[in-house]
């Protein structure tokens, strides 16, 4: 720790002030985004807790429950859409490591269009449930079910909006430091919502259908 | 989808109508007149001093962590005053409304507050003191100190920092608006379902409570992310984890709590909002809702929140005691582990808030034991402080007085907390004023630490020390008030008095309630001395000018830059060699070594967008409270637009050339303390300036 014990120290040999010290913007931004994802994961956790607590037959209050609400087949179709979109975004990131602007834009556009495909299936399924009388107002069970579905859907919508913004920025400002850390964070975000979807698929749809 | 509500509603104003303005209530009219007078005086003063431009350029649009911290503290102090007035009203009501023959005034049967009004007051008192006084005060202090203690120029995300501030400010403004437009929730600060559900509370009070809470919650989550990233990423070279100042460790632990628990609160309140707005059934009494879900979710946030506010307070005490004992902190590693331990165990104790709500004995036993476990790391801290003082050269200056008095409160509050931790014992005192007195001991400990911290770091931020004579009178009166209010309250708790009584049925409790009123009068008197202290300090600021190290025995990095701190904190980033860097440099005789040459400094640019986001979120919340759908949708859309606009702004930073840094540094002459004024600090907080 200390280099001298006699109470004096050569300030030249042990510098007191650091020259040329800076911070890495991309890694600082990425750490912050990881922390944000942790907080968002806690929100999902709380919603899953609510879903588990309200997941009993009596929480359905005599309304639709179990396999009538949870359709694993449709959810599998949604999974394929979602994961393809993540894959497309991953390809855009490979183009980013090569500094290939066109490739980045192509990948993001593909991810965006596939995500729209997911959304259309998702909305179609929700409307189908609404038509058969399974609405959030019907019971505590359905409230928790739909809140999770909508909260995840909100992430997909936010991701699509973010992709649109990034397409414009990549096209007009190019791959500057700020654009790059946003692309990297969007990658994290897009994977994050897919991971959350895995939990949705497992607990809402697979387990939900066999109770 | 939206729940239909009976009663008047118009597309333009929603549920808002003239009848919602409580102009017939003399208490609220008086408050309104007072608030308007203060407002007029402040606006007049700003105009008279020609301060609008400075206010806008240097404060409202600032992203400087020190100024944001000061604004947080100002919000906290204003709300602390508001919460105190609520306390005065509760004490006087309970002292007046004793026994069936007590008289009533202002439409109240007993005392002067109707039960509904009284309910709003205790709800507001709790909500304000926790979320809009304690939290902003501590977040403000962390904001100011953490970057200074780790040798950073600013927070990791200065813009996000300003957004957090203005979200908190919007929440506080919403609570204040509820005084004069509509009403506030009346079911307690932590909410009770299904009373908070729409059929039982159809008014706007719960909505005000819910959205104010929500804004503050989101602001604090973002602030937590920011502080954590700052501590992890922005440390000066050589600042290893083992050399991190203890307050920064405490902030790290506290923000780990806020990052993981405030999102749970956001969900809890969002689900209540869904129940009230779109008619879902999360917490309803029928149709598959679950009342306990609310209690569990709320207290999963609620209890960690207690440690979120107490850990920075412990951190401040841990900084003050070594300075005024002229010794290094005893048991640094133990202190760090204790902070992290408290943060960890905070997750497993929430059920002790409702031992009596029919959990199985095994469940109660589990939470009873985890609650007692909290005593271990807290005990470690107390002993470390005691051993730090042991054989030290103690100087009882103001910060030290506040810090050491806080230890006594910790003792009383901690031991009564252990009593409550026994589930069997808790059945006896649950919902009594004994519990109220217990947690007020803990929260007053935080207030004591805050006053100590403010006295301690004030010279660092403003460049002059606070006057001590009036300050000590304030301290003693405040302490007397604490004793006279809360000793009778513990006694009343043992006598069986439950909390939140708008009418006291047992006349034999009257004398003790009268003593509590005397205590609150002492508190009120003490405020006069606080104001006197501030006034005298400001008047005599030239004599109280502080140098680099205002207390001469300080130990940490923040005392190595000028007082007041220049806007770039350190002209050149310091190289860290030891745990207490300042003390190490003094010991080795290198504390006067100045940088040999200066470099360009990279700084974030001020922006008005965070203020705009704050105003828009206020508009959004206000629109939702009154169900003014156009206002809410316009504000929500504008928030998204502003966020996108910000992402297209590439001009967010600027560089100060090295020769400018050198010129500014040359103009600063650090005076030995006790000497008259010599100069101004470029870009420092401009409260102190020669000749002003």
The 10s digit of each residue's pLDDT in B378-421 is 999 999 999 999 999 999 999 999 999 999 999 999 999 999 99
Tokens of B609: 């967008």
Rounded distance between C-alpha atoms, residue B526 and residue A134, angstroms: 60
Q: Is the CB of residue A11 less than 8 Å away from at least one CB of chain B?
A: yes
Is B533 part of a structural domain of the chain? yes
A6 inside 8 A of chain B by CB: no
Does residue B224 share a domain with residue B167? yes
Phi first, then psi: what are they for A23, rounded to 5°? -120, 150
Among chain B residues, the shortest Cα distance to A24 is held by B233
Interface test with B, best of A46, A65, A166, A183 (most B CBs within 10 A): A46
Give A28-210's CATH code, choosing from 3.40.920.10, 1.20.200.10, 1.20.120.80, 2.60.200.20.
Answer: 1.20.120.80
Residues 6+ apart with CB under 8 A from B182: B16, B20, B203, B204, B205, B208, B625, B626
Per the CB < 8 Å rule, is A17 touching B572? yes
Residue B522 has pLDDT above 80, yes or no: yes
Asked if residue B624 and residue B524 are part of one domain, the reply reads no
The verdict on B130 and B208 lying in the same domain is yes
Q: What is each CA distance from B452 to A141, A144, B320, B441, B466, in whole angstroms? A: 50, 46, 8, 16, 11
Residues of B in Cβ contact (< 8 Å) with A45? 264
Identify whether B525 is part of a domain. yes
A-facing residues of B in 229-248 (CB < 8 A) are 229, 232-234, 236-238
Say whether both B23 and B96 belong to one domain: no
Q: Which helix (H) or strand (E) holds B13?
A: none
Judgement on whether residues B663 and B547 belong to the same structural domain of the protein: yes
B chain contacts of residue A17, beta-carbon cutoff 8 Å: 572-575, 593, 595-596
What is the DSSP-derived secondary structure letter of residue B603? E
Q: Which residue has the higher pLDDT, A121 or B684?
A: A121
The per-residue pLDDT for B276 is 95
Q: Is A138 on the interface with B (CB under 8 A)?
A: yes
Nearest Cα residue in chain A from B648: A169
In angstroms, rounded to a whole number, what is the distance separating the alpha carbons of residues B419 and B413? 10
On whether both B638 and B569 belong to a single domain, the answer is no
Residues of A in contact with B590 (CB under 8 A): 9, 11, 16
Contacts of A63 in chain B (CB under 8 A): 288
Identity of the residue in B288, B574, B579 whose CB atom sits nearest the CB atom of A139: B288
For residue B508, give the 3-state DSSP assignment: helix
Domain count for chain B: 3
Least confident of A158-172, B124-138, B189-203: B189-203
Residue B56 DSSP one-character state:
I
**Percent with pLDDT over 70 in chain B:** 97
Q: Given pLDDT bands bounded at 50, 70 and 90, which one contains residue B681?
A: low
- Virtual torsion, Cα B395, B396, B399, B403, nearest 10 deg: 110
Residue B274 has its nearest CB partner, among A1, A38, A147, at A147
Question: Cβ separation of A42 and B281 shorter than 8 Å?
Answer: no
Nearest-neighbour CA in chain B from A52: distance (Å): 10
The two tokens of residue A201 are 């698929």
Using CB atoms and an 8 Å cut-off, which of residues 97-156 of chain B contact chain A? 156
Distance from CA of A42 to the nearest CA of B (A): 6
Q: CA of B412, closest CA in chain A: separation in Å?
A: 34
The nearest alpha carbon in chain A to B258 belongs to A39
Please give the mean pLDDT across all residues of chain B. Answer: 92
Subunit contact A7:B588, Cβ cutoff 8 A? yes
Cβ of residue B225 closer than 8 Å to a chain A Cβ: yes
**Could you tell me if B567 and B640 lie in one domain?**
no
Task: Work out the average pLDDT over B597-626.
Answer: 94
User: Lowest mean pLDDT: which of A131-145, B22-36, B135-149, B295-309?
Assistant: B22-36
Q: Which two tokens stand for residue B621?
A: 């919340």
Whether B481 maps to a domain, the answer reads yes
pLDDT at B43 over 90: yes
Query: What pLDDT was estimated at residue A147?
Result: 97
**pLDDT confidence band for B41 (50 / 70 / 90):** very high
Same domain, B191 and B228: yes
Whether B447 and B360 map to the same domain: the answer is yes
Residue of B nearest to A168 (CA): B648
Question: Which of A14, A23, A58 is facing B577, going by the closest CB pair?
Answer: A14
Given this model, what pLDDT does residue B684 score? 52
In 3-state terms, what secondary structure has residue B567? coil
| The two three-digit tokens of residue B443, written as one number | 């929260």
Identify the CA nearest to B586 among candidates B394, B323, B240: B323
Query: Distances in Å between the alpha carbon of B317 and those of B41, B254, B447?
Result: 36, 15, 11
DSSP tag of B57: I
Query: In chain B, which residue's Cα lies nearest the Cα of A28?
Result: B233
Interchain proximity A42–B593, CB inside 8 Å: no
The DSSP line for B408-422 is: HHHHHHHHHHHHHHS
A171 has a chain B CB within 8 A of its CB: no
Position B296 in a domain: yes
The DSSP string of B66-125 is: HHHHHHHHHHHHHHHHHHHHHHHHHHHHHHHSBSTT--B-TT-SSBSS-HHHHHHHHHHH
Note whether B29 and B93 are same-domain residues: no
**Which of these ranges, B85-89, B429-433, B564-568, has the smallest mean pLDDT?**
B564-568
Residues B549 and B624 both lie in one domain: no
Cross-chain Cβ contact A17/B595 below 8 Å: yes
Residue B677 within any structural domain of the chain: no
Closest CA to A39 of B63, B155, B229, B138: B229
What is the average pLDDT across B599-625? 95
Q: Per the CB < 8 Å rule, is A32 touching B229?
A: yes
Q: Do B260 and A144 touch (CB under 8 A)?
A: no
pLDDT of residue B415: 93
Q: Where residue B451 falls among pLDDT bands split at 50, 70, 90?
A: very high
Measure CB to CB from residue A8 to each of B264, B274, B588 and give the nearest one.
Answer: B588
Confidence band, pLDDT 50/70/90 cuts, at residue B670 = low
Which residues on chain B are in Cβ contact (under 8 Å) with A53?
Answer: 290, 292-293, 296
CB pairs under 8 A between A and B: 170
Length of chain A: 211
Q: Does any CB of chain B come closer than 8 Å to the CB of residue A147?
A: yes
A32 touches chain B (CB under 8 A): yes
What pLDDT score was predicted for residue A8? 57
Q: Is pLDDT above 50 for B526?
A: yes
Q: Does the beta-carbon distance from B286 to A61 stay under 8 Å?
A: yes
Q: Report the residue from A17, A50, A176 with minimal CB separation from B293.
A: A50
Query: What's the confidence (pLDDT) of residue A5?
Result: 47
- Rounded CA-CA distance A116/A202 in Å is 22
Q: pLDDT-based confidence at B590, cuts 50/70/90? A: confident
A155 Cβ contact partners less than 8 Å away, ≥ 6 residues apart = A189, A192, A193, A196
pLDDT at A25: 86
Nearest-by-CA chain A residue for B298: A46
Residues in chain B within 8 Å Cβ distance of A4 = 588
Contacts with B587 from chain A: Cβ below 8 Å: 7
Q: CB-based contact (8 Å) between B521 and chain A?
A: no
Domain, as residue range, for B31: 6-50
Cα–Cα distance measured from residue B65 to residue B148, given in angstroms and rounded to the nearest whole number = 10
DSSP B396-410: --HHHHHHHHHHHHH
Chain-centre distance for alpha carbon B72 = 8
Domain boundaries, chain A: 28-210
* pLDDT for B677: 43
Helix residue ranges per DSSP H, B567-650: 581-587, 609-625, 629-647
How distant is the Cα of A137 from the closest Cα of chain B, in angstroms? Answer: 4
- Residue range B49-67, pLDDT digits in tens: 888 988 998 899 999 999 9
Name which of B274, B292, B588 is nearest A9 (Cβ-Cβ): B588
Low-confidence ranges of chain A (pLDDT < 50): 1-7
> Which residues in A lie closer than 8 A to residue B268 (C-beta atoms)?
46
Say whether residue B644 is in contact with chain A using an 8 A CB cutoff.
Answer: yes
Q: Does A73 touch chain B (CB under 8 A)?
A: no
A2 Cβ under 8 Å from any chain B Cβ: yes
Residue B439 belongs to a domain: yes
A16 touches chain B (CB under 8 A): yes
Contact B85, B494 (CB under 8 A): no
- The pTM (predicted TM-score) of the whole model is 0.94
The reply to whether B456 and B548 lie within a common domain is: yes
Alpha helical stretches, state H, B463-602? 469-494, 510-539, 581-587
**Number of helices (H) and strands (E), helices first, in chain A?**
6, 0
């Amino acid at each position: 720790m200390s280099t001298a014990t006699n109470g004096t120290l050569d300030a030249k040999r042990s510098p007191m002030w650091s020259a040329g010290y800076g911070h890495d913007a991309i890694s600082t931004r990425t750490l912050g985004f990881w922390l944000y994802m942790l907080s968002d994961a806690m929100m999902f956790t709380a919603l899953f807790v609510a879903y588990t607590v309200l997941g009993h037959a009596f929480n359905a209050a005599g309304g639709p429950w179990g396999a009538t609400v949870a359709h694993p087949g449709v959810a599998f179709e949604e999974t394929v859409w979602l994961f393809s979109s993540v894959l497309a975004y991953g390809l855009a990131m490979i183009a980013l490591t090569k500094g290939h602007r066109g490739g980045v834009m192509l990948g993001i556009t593909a991810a965006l269009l596939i995500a729209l495909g997911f959304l259309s299936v998702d909305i179609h399924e929700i409307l189908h449930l609404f038509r058969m009388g399974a609405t959030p107002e019907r019971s505590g069970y359905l409230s928790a079910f739909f809140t999770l579905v909508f909260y995840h859907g909100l992430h997909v919508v936010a991701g699509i909006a973010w992709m649109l913004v990034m397409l414009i920025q990549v096209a007009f400002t190019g791959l500057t430091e700020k654009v790059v850390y946003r692309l990297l964070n969007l990658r994290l975000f897009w994977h994050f919502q897919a991971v959350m979807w895995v939990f949705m698929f497992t607990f809402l749809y697979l387990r939900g259908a066999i109770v | 989808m939206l729940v239909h509500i009976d009663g008047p509603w118009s597309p333009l104003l929603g549920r808002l109508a003239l009848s919602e303005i409580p102009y017939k209530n003399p208490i609220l009219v008086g408050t309104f007149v007072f608030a308007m007078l203060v407002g007029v005086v402040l606006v007049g003063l700003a105009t008279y001093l020609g301060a609008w431009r400075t206010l806008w350029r240097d404060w409202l649009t600032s992203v400087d962590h020190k100024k944001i911290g000061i604004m947080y503290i100002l919000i906290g102090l204003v709300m602390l005053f508001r919460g105190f007035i609520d306390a005065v009203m509760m004490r006087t009501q309970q002292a007046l409304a004793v026994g069936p023959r007590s008289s009533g005034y202002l439409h109240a049967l007993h005392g002067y507050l109707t039960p509904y009004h009284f309910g709003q007051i205790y709800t507001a008192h709790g909500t304000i003191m926790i979320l809009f006084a304690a939290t902003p005060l501590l977040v403000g202090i962390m904001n100011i100190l953490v970057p200074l203690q780790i040798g950073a120029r600013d927070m990791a995300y200065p813009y996000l920092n300003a957004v957090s501030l203005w979200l908190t400010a919007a929440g506080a403004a919403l609570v204040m608006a509820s005084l004069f437009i509509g009403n506030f929730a009346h079911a307690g600060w932590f909410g009770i379902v299904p009373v908070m559900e729409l059929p039982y509370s159809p008014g706007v009070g719960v909505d005000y409570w819910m959205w104010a809470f929500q804004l503050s919650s989101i602001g604090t989550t973002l602030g937590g992310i920011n502080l954590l990233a700052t501590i992890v990423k922005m440390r000066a070279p050589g600042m290893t984890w083992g050399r991190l100042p203890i307050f920064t460790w405490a902030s790290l632990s506290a923000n780990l709590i806020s990052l993981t628990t405030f999102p749970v609160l956001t969900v809890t309140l969002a689900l209540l909002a869904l129940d009230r707005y779109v008619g879902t059934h999360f917490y309803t009494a029928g149709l598959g809702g679950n009342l306990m879900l609310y209690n569990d979710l709320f207290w999963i946030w609620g209890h960690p929140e207690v440690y979120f506010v107490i850990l920075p307070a412990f951190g401040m005490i841990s900084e003050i005691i070594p300075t005024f004992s002229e010794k290094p902190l005893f048991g640094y590693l133990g202190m760090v582990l204790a902070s992290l331990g408290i943060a960890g165990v905070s997750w497993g104790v929430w059920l002790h808030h409702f031992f009596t709500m029919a959990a199985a004995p095994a469940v109660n036993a589990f939470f009873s034991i985890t609650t007692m476990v909290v005593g271990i790391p807290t005990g470690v801290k107390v002993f470390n402080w005691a051993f730090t003082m042991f054989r030290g050269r103690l100087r009882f200056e103001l910060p030290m007085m506040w810090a050491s008095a806080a230890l006594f409160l910790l003792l009383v509050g901690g031991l009564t907390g252990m009593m409550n931790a026994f589930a069997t014992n808790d059945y006896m005192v649950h919902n009594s004023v004994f519990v109220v007195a217990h947690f007020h001991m803990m929260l007053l400990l935080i207030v004591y630490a805050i006053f100590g911290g403010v006295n301690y770091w004030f010279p660092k931020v403003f460049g002059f020390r606070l006057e001590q004579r009036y300050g000590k009178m304030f301290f003693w009166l405040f302490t007397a008030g604490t004793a006279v209010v809360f000793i009778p309250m513990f006694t009343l708790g043992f006598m069986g008095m439950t909390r939140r009584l708008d009418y006291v049925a047992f006349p034999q409790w009257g004398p003790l309630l009268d003593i509590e009123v005397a205590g609150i009068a002492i508190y009120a008197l003490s405020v006069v001395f606080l104001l006197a202290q501030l006034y005298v300090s400001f008047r005599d600021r030239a004599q109280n000018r502080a140098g680099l190290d205002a207390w001469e025995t300080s130990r940490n990095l923040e005392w190595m830059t000028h007082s007041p701190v220049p806007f770039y904190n350190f002209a050149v980033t310091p190289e860290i060699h030891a745990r207490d860097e300042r003390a190490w440099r003094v010991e080795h005789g290198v504390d006067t070594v100045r940088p040999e040459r200066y470099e360009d400094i990279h700084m974030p640019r001020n922006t008005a967008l965070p203020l705009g986001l704050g105003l828009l979120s206020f508009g959004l919340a206000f629109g939702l409270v009154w169900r003014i759908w156009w206002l809410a949708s316009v504000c929500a859309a504008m928030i998204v637009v502003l966020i996108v606009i910000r992402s297209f702004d590439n001009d967010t930073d600027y560089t100060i050339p090295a020769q400018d840094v050198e010129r500014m540094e040359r103009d600063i002459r650090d005076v030995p303390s006790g000497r008259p004024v010599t100069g101004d600090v470029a870009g420092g907080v401009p409260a102190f300036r020669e000749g002003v």
